[in-house]
Chains A and B, each alone.
Chain A
């Protein structure tokens, strides 16, 4: 898969990038803020967009709203966040297909993403 990853924390982004590339065998385009995620999503097409919840310039939720309103409606969005209040989770699930709380088990993140996408596909098909 061709994945757009937006994560502002460099240490976390390196870990996720390694997981997705080495374990999942995906290609990853990394950006470090919400605004960059929006402009890159408009320029290139991706199979999946992974957004961190809290980022500079634009939060993950803001970025997702703008990506959706700019006409990119079918690319699935998954959120990553250290904030796991029920309110936050509700907001994430209303815009994206899934939510992965931090800290996560990196060796299983690919399997988790697959599971979320499979569930979303099943829901879309039914």
Chain B
């Protein structure tokens, strides 16, 4: 049965009971009033009887007494009163006194009988009122019990099930809802939960499909690149046979572009992996000076070719909590960019400093052409790069800064650039997890 029907039924019972109680209260009052009237009449008759003895005879009085007698309905009262009036007219005081006594007795009996009946009715009414109060109280208690058992308990059960779902979605048990309004609520919630589970399963499926795609794509793209690059490289090396200058130039172009394509594939796959969370960081405490020095060593060939000096400005004895390989990718990217855009004879400076917020900030400053204000956000997006590379030593893929941004974000830091056109640019990124090296501090 629905809750609404249950509550309606209880309300109807209580309302019916109250109506009946009110009606019988009205009826009883009417009845009691009529008894009061009868008793008052009897009292009056008694006082008339008491007066008769002392009254001097008078025709008018006699007529009034006759009228008084006619009003009386009960035959015994009428007879007794009538006798007294007759004896009053006969002027027989002795007999009159006896008749009056008899009349008074009859009136007393009449009065007492009515008083007894009135008391019985009142007692019955009081009992009825008690029963009515009892029924009302029971009704209210029943309403409370119903509300408690169905609504409150039901809501509590439902909210517990919702919590279960929230905490442990996959072992969620769908229970059979009952036929009440709360059952409807639970049905709705079950459909909702089913949809969440379906969506989650779908997302999981898509995620694993994406991982599989990445894995296949990386194999299928790299395998042909291996033979293309291998063939070109073997041709250029002269192992197969010497080439003329024109052919060699074309082969070198093809080789260079193949290298660029390979970098692009690697960058794309890296970025896809980072973005899908498939590249978990292996965090370790790393000595910054050693890490930065090694990374710059790896870039010294490039810097030498471009005739650009690399400078390192550091803080003493700092350790950072990083994934070494990934952060090396970030730093290499920023420094090689800086080298690419620096003029011959210029310098690129890598600075470690402490920000006011307590984070470590790594800055890479070049003396390149600078970046226009409107381009400063855009260069961190995919496939966006400065087009006016004055020193195109290595053509970029347009993904380096996007990867750097993603990797820095995975380390919990942020990345940005400050630049003055014609003076140079400073690319910076922050590292929130760092400490001073204890061994060095003690020493």
Q: Which residues of A contact B (CB under 8 A)?
A: 9, 11-12, 14-16, 18-19, 22-23, 54, 82-85, 102-107
- Cross-interface CB contact of A15 among B215, B219, B222, B230, cutoff 8 Å: B230
A83–B233 touching, CB < 8 Å:
no
Interface presence of B225 (CB below 8 A): yes
B230 touches A19 (CB 8 A): yes
Interface residue? B175 (CB, 8 A): no
Known A12-B230, A15-B234, A102-B222; further 4 A-B contacts with Cβ < 8 A: A15-B226, A23-B239, A106-B230, A106-B234
**B224 interface residue, CB < 8 Å from A?**
yes
Q: Which of B211-255 contact A (CB under 8 A)?
A: 215, 218-219, 221-227, 229-231, 233-234, 237, 239-240
Roughly how many angstroms separate A35 CA and B219 CA in the complex, as a whole number?
A: 21
Contact check, A103 vs B234: say whether CB atoms are below 8 A apart.
no
Q: Are A106 and B233 in contact (CB under 8 A)?
A: yes
Q: Give every chain A residue within 8 A of B224 (Cβ-Cβ).
A: 11
Query: What separation, in Å, do the CA atoms of A104 and B226 have in the docked complex?
Result: 6
Residue of A nearest to B229 (CB): A103
**Which residue from B219, B234, B262 sits with its C-beta under 8 Å from A18?**
B234
- Our count of residue pairs bridging A and B at CB distance below 8 angstroms stands at 61
Bound Cα distance from A84 to B239, whole angstroms: 29
The 10 closest A-B pairs by CB, nearest first: A15-B230, A11-B227, A82-B222, A106-B230, A103-B226, A102-B226, A103-B225, A82-B219, A22-B239, A12-B227
Interface centre among B223, B224, B231, B237 (most CB of A within 10 A): B223
Q: Closest B residue to A8 by CB, please name it.
A: B223
A-B contact pairs, 28 of them (CB 8 A): A9-B223, A9-B226, A9-B227, A11-B227, A12-B223, A14-B227, A15-B226, A15-B227, A16-B230, A18-B234, A18-B239, A18-B240, A19-B230, A19-B234, A22-B239, A22-B240, A82-B219, A84-B218, A85-B215, A102-B222, A102-B225, A103-B222, A103-B225, A103-B226, A103-B230, A106-B229, A107-B234, A107-B239
For the complex, what is the distance from the CA of A83 to the CA of B224, rounded to whole Å?
13
Q: Roughly how many angstroms separate A107 CA and B237 CA in the complex, as a whole number?
A: 7
Q: Which residues of B contact A102 (CB under 8 A)?
A: 222-223, 225-226
Interface centre among A9, A14, A83, A106 (most CB of B within 10 A): A106
